Amino acid sequence: MEFKTLLFYIFSAVTIFAALRVITARNPVHAVLFLVLAFFNVSGLWLLLQAEFLALALVMVYVGAVMVLFLFVVMMLDINIERVRQGFWNNLPLGALVGLLMVGEMAVVLSGRYFGLASLPPRNLPADYSNTKELARVLYTDYAYPFEIASVILLVAIIVAVMLTLRRRKDTRGMRPVDQIAVKARDRMRLVKMAPEVESPVVVAKEGEQA
């Protein structure tokens, strides 16, 4: 067995184990951490496929940014685990059916028979070939609109995650920008005219004695 094949089996086994732990972990924070582990191993698989750009993007974007955001959201939401477990067995048949369909689709794609991948001739790539440049060319030409739509969907997801974490408490003090803009100058300060006060001689004498 070649060393590259051994690495493939190791990364694949750890990825499958981490993916299973994502859906079976009782603590949602642990599920997010196992998802981070799965992403790391998938990036290793992409490195074996000579897709360096996708591997680095997965680590920097998803593990370094998106999953950290998910982890903070899960921790700030303070999900009631007992309440979530109540509907687990009711949704198990539907979830198992969807899981089997996904496994079947992956088996069809990986077999290569349905898409005719086995009959394709091998590609002889030049020495200066860059998969990053080729990926960018296809992404920003043929798939420009789907790329923009995915960006908008991710932006909406981030806004929804932030809105879900907002909690209004009675003892919380905050400022509303709308009220600050609506305030006028005459409402902020009021000038009051007062008559000057003259100190009595008795008070001055007492102060002199104390001094």
pLDDT at 205: 47
Region of 116 on the Ramachandran plot (φ > 0 left; ψ -120 to 50 alpha; else beta): left
pTM of structure: 0.55
pLDDT at 16: 92
> Measured between alpha carbons, how far is residue 42 from residues 46, 55, 174, 193 in Å?
6, 8, 44, 75
CA torsion 93→35→159→60, rounded to 10°?
Answer: -150
pLDDT at 42: 92
- Can you tell me the distance from the alpha carbon of 210 to that of 204, in angstroms, rounded to the nearest whole number? 10
Could you read off the pLDDT of 3-57 as tens digits, one per residue? 888 889 999 999 999 999 988 887 777 888 898 899 999 999 988 888 888 888 8
pLDDT along the chain (211 residues), means of 10: 86 92 83 88 89 85 78 69 68 85 81 63 75 84 90 88 69 73 76 73 50 45
Could you tell me the residue ranges of all domains in the chain?
124-166
